[in-house]
Amino acid sequence: MHDIDLDREISILKYLLEQIAVLEMYTNDFDEDIFLRDIRTKDAVLTRLIVIGEYGPRINDILKERFNEIDWIALKKARNFYAHVYRGIDWILVWNVIQNEIPLLKGQIESVIEILEKENNGKTN
């Protein structure tokens, strides 16, 4: 791809997957009730969601447009909300994001990485 450092982009995407893996680790043995009562896990999950929202939008704009099945704007908006409105967070909504949106995002990111790695391996230096 022209003027895009695919190594950098893939690195960011893999970092996002690392954050998702940690989210999964934090919540794998939880149900909603346990999550809602566990302040440490809620804080830890929120931190990872903020990191995802911070790094996702760092993807090159051309790639964001190309892979628009990922809602890059929503990632950033969620990050801003979580970082600035802590007291107003709806933890049931956060649980639903972890259970429904994060697995979808994980699959989308894995797909993008696969495509970009194929393209990146075909480059000539």
Whether 79 is catalytic: yes
In SS3 terms, the chain reads as: CCCCCHHHHHHHHHHHHHHHHHHHHHHCCCCHHHHHHCHHHHHHHHHHHHHHHHHHHHCCHHHHHHCCCCCHHHHHHHHHHHHHCHHHCCHHHHHHHHHHHHHHHHHHHHHHHHHHHHHHHCCCC
Q: Of these residues, 37, 58, 79, 87, which one is catalytic?
A: 79
Q: Catalytic residues, which ones?
A: 79
